[in-house]
Amino acid sequence: MNIKQLPNMSTRRTKMFHLLKNLFFITLMAFSYQSMAANKTIQVIDKGQDGNSRYYTAACPDGTNGSVVVYFQETGNTEVSPQMLELTGPVGTGTSPKPQVIKVCAAVGSDKEQCKGGSWSVQDAAKASCK
């Protein structure tokens, strides 16, 4: 091998190293951006029941909080769980009937409330309260 060829090979390796390094960082940034975008979910927190209403707080991706209230018909149960409210519609089968949801309301903005019938899910109402 000739001594004059060694710096040339070294330069190629250095260029290849920098190219691979840059590709790695670009790939890393792309995956980071995707995970940040996927992390913009709304967390719904059950705050409990008061009479024929169940209250939720929506933790919005921008750091604000929204609120959701589910109004349901009187049942023989003293406590209606959030899982029972997700099963909206007519009375179910079995010994503990699911409640009939009358309406679901979301606080939209600082002074507006938007309500829909029992077909609106708690998650969809939370999304509306975060807009």
Chain segment 40-79, per-residue pLDDT in tens:
788 899 998 888 888 999 998 888 889 999 988 876 666 6
pLDDT at res. 113: 86
* 40 compared with 127, residue with greater pLDDT: 127
Alpha-carbon gap, residue 61 to 74, rounded angstroms:
34
Alpha-carbon gap, residue 22 to 94, rounded angstroms:
62
Residue 58 CB-half CA count within 13 A: 25
- The pTM assigned to this predicted structure is 0.58
With beta carbons less than 8 A apart as the criterion, state whether 116 and 103 touch. yes
pLDDT at res. 108: 76
Mean pLDDT of 88-100: 51
